[in-house]
Amino acid sequence: MAAEKTGSMKAVRYDSYGGGADGLKHVEVPIPSPKKNEILLKLEAASINPVDWKIQKGMLRPFLPPKFPFTPVADVTGEVAEVGSEVTAFKKGDKLVGMLNFPNGGGLAEFAVSPVNIMAIRPPELSPAEAAGLPTAAMTALQALKSVGTKFNANDEPSNILITAASGGVGHYALQLAKLAGHHVTATCGARNMELMKTMGADEVLDYKSPEGAKLKSPSGRKYDGVIHCTTNISWSTFEPNLSTKGKVIDITPTFMTMATYILKNTFSKKKLVPLLLNPKAEELQFIVSLAKEGKLKTVVDSTYPLSKAEEAWAKSISGHATGKIVVEM
């Protein structure tokens, strides 16, 4: 159970770039006070996304983090403990799920303040760990599927979709959302997760370490209309022969090299490589949470750690071998 508001709280933060899990420090700091447009959340759980440790690594310097020391993590769930004078959407005692104000973070702590623009009521059907997994990963999966034309309404035409790293945080939500939209899904993952991917609805599964998996070739010979690309180090020349005439790769981990190669090699083709950066939207969070409430979108919880062992959760995320979401509970 999270601490009551007493004046100070436990938090986990880092003071400089680098250091990985060893760079995280447990501190006792004052409980923050919400500004008039903010709420104070008594946190119950937070989920780690790769961007959290990429910021620590300095991959987004000089912009992020905004300052040191920095308490990382944005995806949280918890109970409203205090409400700023201008907040009308939620009240004290509401259980919420959402994103703390990017880029301020604050999720690895017992309390956090945030505006409420990317917050939704957490339905009782969702455990704190299941809810905390959703915001960044499921919204990214949703936006990636929308980028290949999925509307999530009755007008959706079934397409052939490839999801790389379908066992990861973003990928496992993308797999479920793609199936909800009626698509045929080919998923890539490690051998250990192939059965899980089938259970979660994948029509075809490729072990990314096998020769066929490395080529991304659909076992049934299908060409992909859309690729939700959730891992790194796959070149345009690997994607290109597997795409249908107007096939699109939505790249959520774009690099200068992949974009440059695509531009150089694809001048006259209708096949596209499209970089995607999550643009969090309240209505999309609400859509995701509603699907989860109805049991149509499930969070696979890779592992949970108490706040006192947040560095173990951090290390697990850095390892790149999560199945679903890594969660820290307060």
Catalog residues that contact ligand NAP under the rule CB under 6 A. 49-51, 136-137, 140, 164-165, 167-171, 188-190, 192-193, 208, 230-231, 252-253, 276-278, 317, 320-323
Residue nearest to ligand NAP (CB): 190
Nearer to ligand NAP, 11 or 278 (CB): 278
Closest distance between ligand NAP and the C-beta of residue 60, in Å? 11
Closest distance between ligand NAP and the C-beta of residue 76, in Å? 16
Cβ atoms < 10 Å from Cβ of 88 = 8
- d(CA 136, CA 313) in angstroms, rounded, equals 17
- d(CA 103, CA 39) in angstroms, rounded, equals 16
Report the relative pairing of strands 224-229 and 204-207 from DSSP bridges.
unpaired
- Indicate the residue type of 77: T
3-state secondary structure of 248: strand
Looking up tokens 């890539």 gives 188
Nearer to ligand NAP, 98 or 168 (CB): 168
Looking up tokens 């760990």 gives 129
Closest distance between ligand NAP and the C-beta of residue 246, in Å? 22
Nearer to ligand NAP, 81 or 297 (CB): 297
Take residue 137 and report the two structure tokens written for it.
């990963």
Looking up tokens 């100070």 gives 8
Nearer to ligand NAP, 40 or 47 (CB): 47
Closest distance between ligand NAP and the C-beta of residue 39, in Å? 24
Looking up tokens 């903010």 gives 38
Closest distance between ligand NAP and the C-beta of residue 172, in Å? 8
Nearer to ligand NAP, 40 or 310 (CB): 310
